[in-house]
Each structure stands twice: as structure tokens, then as C-alpha cells.
Amino acid sequence: MAPDEVLLDTVGVAFVCAGVVVGSRGRRRRMALLLLATGVTWWLGGLGDWALFWHRGPLTHALLAYPTGRLRGRGPRVVAAGGYVLAVAAPLDRFAVVNVGMALSVVGAVTWSAFGSQGPQRSQRWQAVAAATVVMGVLAGGALARTRGVGAQPAALRTYELGLVLGALVLAGGDVWDRWSEPTTTRLVVELGAAPAGGRISGLVADALGDPSAELFYWLPDGGGFVDEAGRAVPDPGARAAGAQVTELDHDGERVGVLVHDVGVGQDPELLARVAALASLAVAGVRLRADVEAQLAAVEASRRRIVTAGELERQQLAAEVRRGAARHLEVVSGLLADSGHPDAELADATAMAQRSLDAFADGMDPVAGSDSGLAGALAELVRNFPVPATVALEGGPSSPSAESTAYFVCAEALSNVGKHAAASQVSIRVAATPGWVRVVVKDDGVGGATPWAGTGLAGLRDRVEALGGTLTVHSPAGGGTRVEAVIGA
């Protein structure tokens, strides 16, 4: 087979292979059919001069519709229709002005589409410009050569055929090598998964679409309207930018938001659909996370109210004991002392009952029972403690629930020191700051404590956490024990 015949067949093979490559990846079947049609009609040109230019119809269509296979706008449709007319009207090929005009129209329309495209599709539009420039440039050059009497020389034909092969390679290569829909959405999935909780996702979606103006808006159910990612109300998201296009975001049949983007993004419906689906999942995830956080906040607020209410009840009970039964016993003791014939046994029993009630009231509310508040209660706590203890307080008074919790943390920590630590000294430090009370109880004992084995510190941890704080215990073997509580005030 002569080299010219090999090259002739190679053109058809190149376009058929390009169509197979594009179609085998499971997307853009329209473009695959156009490339296959170009290859088949090229071979059909061997039937006679009347079919010689049939390939120019689907070829022109493919260049104008690349990469999706869909013609967008009136201009490309008119030019594509002209390409099919010239493909079947073989006599018109004799006029150079027709070929040159068609070549310029195709290159101009493809270039215009490239300038108007958005996102990752733009790079492939420019690949179509390159292919159109090569193919149509050779076509126009051949037409101009004929006007000078050169004719259809073999060199000119080979140049045209080589241009077609190169154009087919460019169109197929763009589908294989260019980072487009699938890699873009895969990257978006990874980035959305790595985004921190509460992070904004509009920027990630905008990068995936290649549209810096793209922005997400969340839909609040129950007639709440739209809000942006900062939580600001947006009555009409589509009105924020002139000429913007609004894409609805739905999840499981429920509206979750909208994506506002440049109208040029709509030229790539496949990419837009993929990104919109991922954005819908992301927005639904944000809404779910917000609902969970709201429920957790409600639970925390409920726990705090329970602790505060319990503390208030203890204070009221302690006050009732001091004002009621303890006061009555004090009166009885006075009457017995003032009587002419005091009963020593009865007086002792009354005094013991009064001390028991006072101790009960102090146990219920030790801070309120001290004239000096928390400082006095802690001083009383360490007064008769068997291990030397120091107490340091910083800051002013805090809320009753925080001070009471701080006292019980110190009391439980001291109890554990006395039972298990074998310490020679212990220190208590309480620092009150706006909104918080920090308690540190530290000893120099044997360490190695298992703090959550019993119910004491474990119960206090629940109480501290209910007030929005934390309770930690650090007890390395041989290194003493440090109990630290940060209590919400």
C-alpha cells in the first residue's frame, strides 16, 4: 500500500479511535458519536466526488460542540448548520471564499465559546480552538492555493490529511489527559471531607466549578428563608449578582439550599450536576451537624439547670434547717439553761442535736455556712486535716453553684489524699476569673491513683461537666497526684 493510501486510511482510523476513546469512558456519548461519524464519513468519501466532503459536517459540529457534544448559543448552531450544507453541496467547494469564510467562522465561533466558558471546561475549549485552527487553517490554505492555480496537489492533500489526524489526536487527548469532571469532583470530595467542622465550603465549590463568584446559600426549613455561610439572612440569593444562575440543591427530596454561579457554568451541565450533588450532601451535612450541636447544647443547658436547681434546693434546705429546727433547738437550750432546775442530760442531748443539725446544714451548703464564703469553708476543711495543707485563693466571688462545686472537688481530693496518698503535704489553689473557677489540688504522695474507679471524683466530674467545665487527674506512680477542675461560672 502506498504511503498516500496509508495516510488516507489513517484519517478515518484516527477519528474512529478518538470516538471509541471518548465513548469508552462512559461520558459524553454525543461527542463520541460525532467523532465516529467523522471517521465513517471520511471513508464514505471514497464512493465518489459527491461524498468527498461529507466528513466536514460532523467534523465542524464536533469542533463547535467540544467537549460536551452540545451546541450552545445561536452562533455555533448557525455555523454547524452551514458546515452540513457545505458538506453535501460539493460544487460550493470550488469557491475559495466559501471555504475561507467557513474556516474563519468555525475558528471564530470556537474561540468565542472558549472565552465564554467557565471552570475546568475552559481548558478543553481551548484545545478545541487549537484543533479548529489546525484543521480549518489547512482547509483555508488549500482553498487559497487553488485560487493561485496550484490545484489539489498531493502535498496539499497530505497536509490536509495530517491536519485532520492531528485534530483527532487533540480532541481525544483532551478527554484523556485534561483534568475535568471526574477528577475535579473527586478532588472536591476529598476537600469537603477534609474541611474542618464549621468551615466554609463555598470556596471549595467555586474552585471545582472554576467560578470565583460561585456561592452557597442555606435554606432554613419552616419558612426561615435563605442565609449565607455567616448566618446572615439573604432574601433573594439570585439577585446578589447580575446575570447569575441559580441551581437548586436538594437532598432526599428536600430543599437544602441553592448554588449561585455564573451562567457560563451552565454550559457544562455534567460538571455542574456533579458539583451540585456533592454540594447538596455537604450542605445537608452542615445542617445535620448544626442540629446535633443544637441538641447537645440543649442537653448541656439542661444538665446545667439541673445542677443549679439542685444547688439551690440544697441552699434552701440548709437555710431552712438553720432558721427552723436548729433555731428552735437553740431556743430550747436557752430555756433549759434559764430554768431553775436544769436537766444536765437533757441539755447535753439538746446541744448534741443542735450540733448535728448545724453539721448537716454545713454539709448541705458549706460555703454559705461560712462567714467568709469559700475561703472560710476551705480553711475549715483543712483545719484538722492530718496532712499539712495550704490554701490560696485568687479573684473575687463567683456563682454559688461554681463555688459549691469547687469546695466539693477540694473535699473529695483531700479525702483521697488522706486515705491513699501517704503524702507529707498538700496544696489547694482556687483562681476565679470571669466565667470560670479553676481548682488545683496537688500532693507529693505515692501517686498511681485510679481516679475513676470510685464514685467520688467520677460523680464530681459529671457535675463539673454539667457546668461546662472539665475535671482531670494526673497521678504518675511515685510523682504525687494533681487534681484540676475548670468549672463554668
Res. 27: pLDDT tops 70 = no
C-alpha cell at 338: 434559764
Tens digit of each residue's pLDDT (9 = 90 or more) over 157-174: 777 778 888 888 888 876
C-alpha to C-alpha distance for 360 and 362, rounded to whole angstroms? 5
Average pLDDT over residues 76-83: 88
Classify 1 as helix, strand or coil.
coil
Query: pLDDT tens digit string along 436-484?
Result: 999 999 999 998 888 777 667 888 888 888 888 899 999 998 889 999 9
Is 330:306 a contact under the CB 8 Å cutoff?
A: no
Stated as kind and residue range, the H or E segment containing 291 is helix 269-323
pLDDT above 90 covers a percentage of the chain that reads: 11
- Return the top range by mean pLDDT from 125-129, 233-237, 385-389: 385-389
3-state secondary structure of 226: strand
Overall size of the chain counted in residues? 489
What is the DSSP pairing of strand 481-488 with strand 436-443?
antiparallel
What mean pLDDT is predicted for residues 346-355? 69
Neighbours of 120 (CB within 10 A): 21
Q: Is the peptide bond before 76 cis (omega within 30 degrees of 0)?
A: no
- The confidence score (pLDDT) of residue 430 equals 94
Per-residue pLDDT, averaged over 191-212, amounts to 69
CATH for 373-488 (3.40.50.300, 3.30.70.380, 3.30.565.10, 3.30.160.60): 3.30.565.10
Mean pLDDT of the chain: 78
pLDDT tens digits, 46-56: 787 788 888 88
pLDDT: which is higher, 272 or 351: 272
Question: Is pLDDT above 50 for 179?
Answer: no
What is the arithmetic mean of pLDDT over 118-135? 75
Closest CA to 366 of 381, 384, 351, 388: 381
Q: Where are the domains of the chain?
A: 3-177, 193-294, 373-488
**Rounded Cα distance, 268 and 335, in Å:** 98
